[in-house]
Amino acid sequence: LVTEPEFNDFAPAWDPDGKYLYFLSYREFNPVYDALHFDLGFPTAMRPLLVTLQKTLGNPFVPEPHPLEEEKEDKDKEEGTQQDGEDKASDEKSEKKDKPEPITIDLDGISQRIVAFPYPRGRYGQIAGIEGKVIFTSFPGEDSVPSDDSRDRPRGTLHVYDFKEQKKDTLVSGIEGFRLSGDGKTLVYVTRNRLRVIKAGKKVEGDKAVSRGGSNRQTGWINLNRIKASIVPTAEWHQMYREAWRLQRDFFWTEDMSGVDWEHVYQRYLPLLDRIATRGEFSDLMWEMQGELGTSHAYEMGGDYRSSPNYAQGFIGADFVYDAENNGYRITHIPHGDVWEASKDSPLNAPGVNVTEGDILLAIGGQSVSETVSPGECLVNLANQEVQATFQNASDGEKRDVTLKILGSERELRYREWVSNNRRYVHEKTDGKVGYIHIPDMGRRGYAEFHRGFLAEVSYPGLLVDVRYNGGGHVSQLLLEKLSRRRIGYDVPRWGTPHSYPDASVLGPIVAVTNENAGSDGDIFSHCFKLMELGLLIGKRTWGGVIGISPHHPFVDGGNTTQPEYSFWFVDVGWSVENYGTDPDIEVDYRPQDYDTEADPQLDRAIAELLQQMEENPPQLPDFGERPRLTLPTLPKAE
């Protein structure tokens, strides 16, 4: 081994001169305190490093004395040689150049010859060696979910370190990745959707070069619009079909394909390729073919579809009904979301708008609404736009115009109201004895939503955890670890209240609610909640899909398929959660009439079970007794 298996070392790259092996490594353990809860993390743990391949090589970052001007090698000797000697030397030099010298690597003690680059810990992407230099990319920290729009992704910086000059420099900013030519003299990098070719290790001009010269040899920018590809869709579909089949054969989580004759499946659907006429039909064929595996998470998505017009629907964030008397739409309900985020709250709740339930909406953007012209029709193609709307006050009939920032989606608004209403309902039904949190998925959003609720709701004696409609992900183990904390002590101050140890641990019972729409990591959370005996699981049997994926093999047309690569096994049921789910301890149906009456029998049953457990075993702080008395010892009297 070149490095010890103590750290995560990756991206090795050779020095063309045969002196060093460059690589990136996660090995900087410098934790940072979390801003919201008691935790520490390692957001910047990576550094570029090198290994000296020969024992005789020193640290290349330590300056060594050398003349200010390099002497010309053998200058006097060259002047005194004869022309024949020069020709012979030239021939030998040329022959030597054609036969590269072998590289010697001293393996003895190589793991002790690791040197870190003089750069701080951070986030690095690639590293490569060129003659006398090394180049690598760094990226800024990412504190939010990246947008699907590539223009919003963090922009990297291409660094270069010159060993001879022992000098740091920046070659170019705004980079996403690069590749070197075979001889290491030319570099191409990508930024947004553009490619640029530059001399490796040479600093280049910025975006000004683009405006002055455009795409040419001087600027290095490549005009991708010149690329024209002739595509035969039927031939492309045949290649993609074979590729998808091969990917499942090579990456499916068990080599025997769970007993499915995969070659037979290939031959079964192959004749249908000659009968499909559109990309959509090819997609249907892929779902049918992969469906023969009888396994979850075998998806097909994306592809070369013709772009359709996008007339984004706008929303005013309210419920309304038509009012024939006023020929407008009466506002019956205005949901409340996060008031500090305009995109997550109703525009009618914005400061100065002052629209209340009962007011009449008469017009949007100067267009009157009516029984045949709904507000939705007037809001087509107005998502995220400022629009003037006319309302009539319910109290005095006064008409007024207000400017609204129209929503592009009500999803976050409606979700926040649903969670807030559930939390309020649980608090009221339990007289403030039980807290409530909902986990929408097991990704970054779900992790955030869990902590948003948990950090406040954990102060209640009992806790109700709602994982219904959980979309899956991969963070269930982090949440279960936190829910499994059991109080074994308290930090008791003179002033204030005792603080639990461990921190953020629930005093009393926990109950979880799940349903058939909780899947993937939602399945795993529900099953392990029971397996870890954290509390009762109430609701319906979960979705039943626990074979994970890591999609990384796109089709030639930009589409993709997923290969179920790793299946979960549990100590109680083995592989049986896949294609079945997990059963609740107490099954409670959500009937159609419950939706109609806005009842929630699953939530009600969970509340009842929690209250019963708390009645049988009331959660309360222990009697700490008298505090220790450390009186001064009585000294014997001197005789």
Please spell the DSSP secondary structure of 432-447, one letter per residue.
T-EEEEE---BSHHHH
Max Cα distance, the chain (Å): 116
Residues 419 and 421: their CA atoms lie apart, in Å, by 5
The residue among 248, 250, 338, 327 whose CA lies nearest residue 294 is: 248
- E-state strands within 378-523: 386-392, 399-405, 434-438, 462-466, 489-491, 499-501, 510-514
Strands 462-466, 434-438: pairing kind: parallel
Q: Amino acid identity, residue 191?
A: T
Burial class (CB in 10 A: 0-12, 13-18, 19+), 382: buried
Catalytic position from the list 300, 457, 578, 609: 578
From the list 543, 530, 517, the residue with the least C-alpha distance to 570 is 530
Starting from the edge strand earliest in sequence, which strands make up the sheet with 46-52, in order?
A: 8-14, 20-26, 46-52, 114-116
> DSSP per residue over 242-310, as a string?
HHHHHHHHHHSSSTTGGG--HHHHHHHHGGGGGG--SHHHHHHHHHHHHHTT--TT--EE---PPPPP-
- From the list 520, 526, 567, 609, the catalytic residue is 520
Q: Which amino acid is at 395?
A: S
Count of CB atoms situated within 10 Å of the CB of 588:
19
Catalytic residue among 159, 297, 438, 451: 297
Q: Are strands 535-539 and 510-514 parallel, antiparallel or unpaired?
A: parallel
A 10 A CB-CB count for 517 gives: 15
End-to-end CA distance of the chain: 77
Q: Do residues 261 and 254 make contact, with C-beta atoms less than 8 angstroms apart? A: no
Any residues with CB less than 8 A from the CB of 365 and at least 6 apart, and which? 378, 382, 387, 388, 389
| Contact of 320 with 331, CB cutoff 8 Å | yes
Tokens read off for 1: 């081994």
Share of the chain residues as helix, strand and coil, in percent rounded to the nearest 5: 25, 25, 50
Burial class (CB in 10 A: 0-12, 13-18, 19+), 7: middle
- Amino acid identity of residue 142, one-letter, is E
Closest CA to 8 of 22, 27, 36: 27
Tokens representing 27 are 């090995």
Name the residue type at position 79: E
CB within 8 Å of 437: residues ≥ 6 apart: 423, 449, 450, 453, 454, 457, 463, 464, 465, 466
Question: Phi and psi (nearest 5°) for 592?
Answer: -55, -40
Quickly count: other Cβ atoms within 10 Å of residue 27's Cβ. 17
DSSP state of 216: S
- To the query of whether residue 578 is one of the catalytic residues in this protein, the response is yes
Active site residue 357: no
Q: Is the dihedral of CA 572, 577, 583, 584 positive or negative?
A: positive
324-340 burial, b if ≥16 CB within 10 A, otherwise e? eeeebbbbeebbebeee
Coil, strand, or helix at residue 474?
A: coil
- The yes-or-no answer on residue 520 being catalytic is yes
Residues with catalytic function: 297, 520, 578
